[in-house]
């Protein structure tokens, strides 16, 4: 089992640039895999291989693991950590610059994402997967506690925003456990949490890309009303914005953070109907 001794053996220096905070606690690693709900048929995508500790735990359960690591200085460590495991496919590539269709072609079917994400790039990675991926079934992610709170937040809460609505609209979202910063090496300045998202269709969203545009527009300037944000961001006439809001039973002075996910679904579908008639 890979551990801190391997890191010491190769005199590895942690990189702040890559946001490297590794996990060596076996109980936590196994809890992450358990929270993902995978089995021997599962294909898994991991972003940020690190010392390979989570990768090995996934590989004990899953059919295959495709794992991406940006730091090539970890190659010798990972060669040793993965010795004897033939279901791990390791790519020393920047996940953000590898086309999603290439990543999915390598996996060859539906997959689940499990990852201890670097804090500095958590949100871009999530959006890349949900906007460009075609075959992702679920996300199980170790993220900064603040991000987890945002993902799980409900309307009229200060943490509620674009990330909350877009992810909750796509499936079932839950925080499975909180994680103390002291369980990482080196310890970050903040605590973490594990979130799990099953991409199960919950809502009848006619156009997901338009839905995302509407949500981004609604929170574009939080101090402005939904009416003003939609009018300026989507180039819809004032009168038509009022008609659309009225058709969704939304007040003229409502703000984006007061709208539920259900409200956003109705709103985006109504805007889609309006745009189709223009």
Q: What is the mean pLDDT of residues 84-113?
A: 97
* pLDDT for the residue 119: 84
Alpha-carbon distance 68 to 50, whole Å?
9
> What number is the average pLDDT over the span 206-212?
96
pLDDT, tens only, 218-252: 998 878 899 999 998 988 899 999 999 999 999 99
Could you give the domains of the chain?
Answer: 4-198 (3.40.50.150), 208-276 (1.10.8.100)
The DSSP secondary-structure symbol of 139 reads E
Task: Report the length, in residues, of the chain.
Answer: 278
Please state the pTM of the whole predicted model.
0.92
| Run of H or E residues at 269 | helix 261-276
Q: What is the C-alpha separation between 232 and 145, in angstroms, rounded?
A: 33
What's the pLDDT at 4? 67
Write the pLDDT tens digit of every residue in 147-179. Answer: 999 999 999 999 999 999 999 999 999 999 999
Q: How far apart are CA 267 and CA 11, in angstroms?
A: 55
User: Which residue in the block uniquely carries the two structure tokens 């180039």?
Assistant: 235
18: pLDDT strictly greater than 90: no
Instruction: Measure the CA–CA gap between 216 and 254, rounded to whole angstroms.
Output: 16
Is residue 5 very low, low, confident or very high in pLDDT (cuts 50, 70, 90)? Answer: low
Average pLDDT, the chain: 92
Q: What is the 3-state secondary structure (H, E, C) of 140-204?
A: EEEEEHHHHHHHHCCCCCCCCCHHHHHHHHHCEEEEEEEECHHHEECCCCCCEEEEEEECCCCCC
Mean pLDDT of 179-207: 92
Among 2-6, 237-241, 266-270, name the one with the lowest average pLDDT: 2-6
Residue 223 has a pLDDT of 80
């Amino acid at each position: 089992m890979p551990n801190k001794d391997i890191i010491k053996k190769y005199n590895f220096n942690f990189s702040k640039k890559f946001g490297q905070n590794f996990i060596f606690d076996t109980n936590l690693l196994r809890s992450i895999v358990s929270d993902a709900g995978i089995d021997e048929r599962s294909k898994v995508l991991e972003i940020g291989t690190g010392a390979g500790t989570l990768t090995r735990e996934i590989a004990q359960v899953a059919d295959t693991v495709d794992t991406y690591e940006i730091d090539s200085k970890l190659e010798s460590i990972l060669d040793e950590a993965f010795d004897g495991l033939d279901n791990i496919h390791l790519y020393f590539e920047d996940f953000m610059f590898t086309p999603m269709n290439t990543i999915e072609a390598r996996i060859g079917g539906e997959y689940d994402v499990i990852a201890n994400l670097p804090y500095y790039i958590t949100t871009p990675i999530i959006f890349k997967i949900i906007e460009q991926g075609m075959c992702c079934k679920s996300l199980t992610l170790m993220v900064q506690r603040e991000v987890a709170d945002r993902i799980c937040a409900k309307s009229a809460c200060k943490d509620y925003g674009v990330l909350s609505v877009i992810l909750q609209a796509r499936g079932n979202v839950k925080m499975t456990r909180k994680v103390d910063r002291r369980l990482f090496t080196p310890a970050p300045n903040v605590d973490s949490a594990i979130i799990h998202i099953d991409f199960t269709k919950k809502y009848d969203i006619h156009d997901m890309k338009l839905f995302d545009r509407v949500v981004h527009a609604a929170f574009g300037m939080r101090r402005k009303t939904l009416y003003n944000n939609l009018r300026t961001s989507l180039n819809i006439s004032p009168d038509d914005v009022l008609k659309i809001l009225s058709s969704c039973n939304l007040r003229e002075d409502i703000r984006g953070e007061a709208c539920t996910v259900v409200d956003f679904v109705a709103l985006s579908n109504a805007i889609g109907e309006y745009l189709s008639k223009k």
